[in-house]
């Protein structure tokens, strides 16, 4: 079993390597002061230090359910299962459904691909186009698959955001089948201009909707969740208990204390959206200027720019770049083509974005000699 390229890179890069590799948020935007205040309040409650319920901290579940209701997606606290990151949510679902056939986007999230392999799932890869997964191939695969794994909002790695029509079409096709949807949505709040409705909203009894506070609050909290009909979450609880009994009550209580001030959280989301939009524009403009041969589409949200250096083997290329102190992820790691690359644009500061792209330029010319 191959480890994640990105997690290995994170371990081996030195502090002066410029990393466009991991899906890391901009650390300067963590609401550190407010989280410290929330921590103080949370830790003062003696009961928080005790073992807790398997499905999650009740006030946090109620708050997450309310977030869905506010979006017009009726949800009760009973339909929320808190997990240790959305990564664990996906793992739990796949352990329960191990060995079944699953439709996946190509390319797709590396951490998910590893879960599918570990659970002996039979993958049906369907290509993405600019509107989402290719419908004709999806229609064929649906007949042979029990599950579908999609990341419709600013997909990792491609940055694709499914159009409204595409979402409706997929909901219709799934609704007419017995295939369950796993909709992974860690980036859905990171839109630059307007939000999209989740596909799960049209399939409330036939979907697992995965959410996470990693990209919008802090990944160190390790809080994610599964939103699904009770008939779907009930059999998952035994798996959650087998894995870790429950997600840390301490981080759940901290998140709750921070999130209960909804105005504060909404302002934070606004700050993230505008800061990330600015960073994406900066990264894209610098790419056009420094590396004009890189072909890509500007994303409308999320954390990634995906594209290609036509004909360049990016797996060999990244090794050269690492020597020059800059790193990104080759598209082949996600099941993409050999000349594709994923850049994360949120983590590095503006001067480091420029410096990193200049280092890549140096390697590109050398590589083509
Ligand atoms: C599509 C996708 N799903 C899940 C995760 C895992 O996130 P979490 O920190 O909530 O476990 C990531 C992290 O990068 C991701 O990109």
pLDDT (tens digit, 9 = 90+) per residue, 252-273? 999 999 999 999 999 999 999 9
pLDDT range class, residue 367, cuts 50, 70, 90: very low
pLDDT at 12 over 80: no
**362 CA from centroid of ligand 1 (Å):** 32
**16-20, 82-86, 121-125: range with lowest mean pLDDT:** 16-20
**pLDDT (tens digit per residue) in 295-315:** 999 999 999 999 999 999 999
Question: In sequence order, what are the residues at sequence separation of 6 or more whose Cβ sits closer than 8 angstroms to the Cβ of residue 201?
Answer: 71, 72, 73
User: For 230-237, what is the mean pLDDT?
Assistant: 98
Q: Are 283 and 343 in contact (CB under 8 A)?
A: yes
**14-18, 44-48, 146-150, 222-226: range with lowest mean pLDDT:** 14-18
**35 CA from centroid of ligand 1 (Å):** 21
Indicate which atom in ligand 1 lies nearest the CA of residue 223. Answer: 10
pLDDT at 13 over 80: no
pLDDT value for 1? 61
Work out the end-to-end distance of the chain between its first and last CA atoms, rounded to an integer number of angstroms: 35
Beta strand 132-133 with 122-129 is antiparallel
Identify the bridge partners of residue 126 per DSSP, sorted by sequence position. Answer: 105
**CB atoms < 10 A from the CB of 36, how many?**
11
Higher pLDDT, 8 or 323: 323
**Closest of 133, 88, 86 to residue 107, by C-alpha:** 133
**7-11, 177-181, 215-219: range with lowest mean pLDDT:** 7-11
**155 CA from centroid of ligand 1 (Å):** 11
**186 CA from centroid of ligand 1 (Å):** 6
Beta strand 180-184 with 340-344 is unpaired
pLDDT value for 10? 63
Tell me which residue has its CA closest to atom 14 in ligand 1: 23
The pLDDT > 90 percentage for the chain reads: 93
pLDDT range class, residue 366, cuts 50, 70, 90: low
pLDDT range class, residue 2, cuts 50, 70, 90: low
Higher pLDDT, 219 or 8: 219
**30 CA from centroid of ligand 1 (Å):** 17
Chain centroid to CA 341: 17
pLDDT at 334 over 70: yes
Residue with tokens 């790193």, as numbered in its chain: 327
**pLDDT (tens digit per residue) in 104-115:** 999 999 999 999
User: For 173-196, what is the mean pLDDT?
Assistant: 97
Indicate which atom in ligand 1 lies nearest the CA of residue 222. Answer: 9
pLDDT at 345 over 60: yes
Q: Are 324 and 363 in contact (CB under 8 A)?
A: yes
Strands (E), the chain: 18-19, 80-83, 101-106, 122-129, 132-133, 147-150, 180-184, 207-212, 224-227, 294-296, 304-309, 326-327, 329-330, 340-344
pLDDT range class, residue 368, cuts 50, 70, 90: very low
pLDDT value for 16? 87
Indicate which atom in ligand 1 lies nearest the CA of residue 151. Answer: 1
**219 CA from centroid of ligand 1 (Å):** 9
**Dihedrals phi, psi of 224, to nearest 5 degrees:** -135, -175
pLDDT at 120 over 90: yes
Provide the mean pLDDT of the chain.
95
Phi-psi region of 302 (alpha: psi -120 to 50; beta: other; left: phi over 0): left
**144-153, 233-242, 319-328: range with lowest mean pLDDT:** 319-328
pLDDT value for 150? 98
Alpha carbons 357 and 282: distance in angstroms, whole number? 12
pLDDT range class, residue 351, cuts 50, 70, 90: very high
Alpha carbons 322 and 317: distance in angstroms, whole number? 9
Question: In sequence order, what are the residues at sequence separation of 6 or more whose Cβ sits closer than 8 angstroms to the Cβ of residue 356?
Answer: 18, 20, 326, 348
* Ligand 1 shell residues, CB under 6 Å: 23, 85-87, 109, 111, 151, 156, 184, 186, 212, 214, 219, 224
pLDDT value for 7? 65
**Closest of 170, 190, 192 to residue 179, by C-alpha:** 170
pLDDT value for 4? 67
Residue with tokens 């994303």, as numbered in its chain: 299
């Amino acid at each position: 079993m191959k480890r994640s390229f990105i997690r290995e890179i994170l371990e081996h890069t030195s502090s002066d390597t410029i990393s466009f590799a991991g899906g890391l948020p901009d650390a300067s935007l963590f609401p550190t002061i407010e989280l410290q205040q929330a921590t103080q309040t949370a830790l003062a409650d003696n009961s928080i230090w005790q073992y807790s319920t398997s499905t999650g901290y009740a006030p946090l579940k109620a708050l997450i359910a309310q977030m869905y209701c506010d979006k017009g997606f009726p949800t009760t606290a009973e339909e929320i299962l808190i997990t240790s990151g959305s990564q664990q949510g996906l793992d739990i679902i796949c352990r329960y459904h191990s060995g079944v056939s699953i439709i996946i986007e190509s390319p797709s999230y590396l951490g998910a691909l590893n879960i599918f392999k570990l659970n002996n799932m039979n993958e049906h890869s369907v290509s993405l186009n600019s509107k989402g997964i290719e419908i004709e191939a999806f229609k064929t695969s649906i007949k042979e698959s029990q599950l579908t794994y999609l990341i419709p909002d600013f997909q990792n790695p491609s940055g694709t955001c499914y159009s409204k029509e595409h979402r409706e079409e997929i909901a219709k096709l799934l609704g007419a089948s017995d295939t369950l949807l796993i909709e992974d949505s860690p980036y859905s709040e990171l839109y630059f201009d307007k939000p999209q409705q989740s596909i799960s909203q049209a399939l409330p009894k036939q979907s697992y909707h995965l959410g996470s506070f990693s990209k919008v609050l802090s990944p160190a909290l390790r809080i994610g969740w599964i939103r699904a009909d009770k008939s779907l979450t009930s059999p998952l609880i035994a798996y959650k208990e087998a894995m870790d009994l429950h997600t840390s009550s301490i981080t759940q209580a901290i998140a709750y204390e921070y999130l209960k001030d909804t105005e504060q959280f909404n302002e934070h989301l606004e700050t993230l959206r505008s800061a990330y939009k600015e960073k994406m524009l900066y990264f894209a403009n610098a790419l056009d200027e420094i590396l004009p041969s890189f072909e890509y589409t500007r994303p409308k949200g999320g954390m990634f720019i995906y594209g290609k250096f036509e004909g360049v083997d990016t797996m060999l290329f990244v090794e050269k770049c690492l020597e020059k102190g800059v790193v990104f992820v080759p598209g082949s790691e996600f099941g993409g083509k050999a000349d594709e690359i994923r850049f994360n644009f949120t983590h590095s500061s503006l001067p480091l974005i420029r410096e990193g792209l200049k280092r890549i330029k140096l390697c590109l010319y050398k590589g083509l000699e």
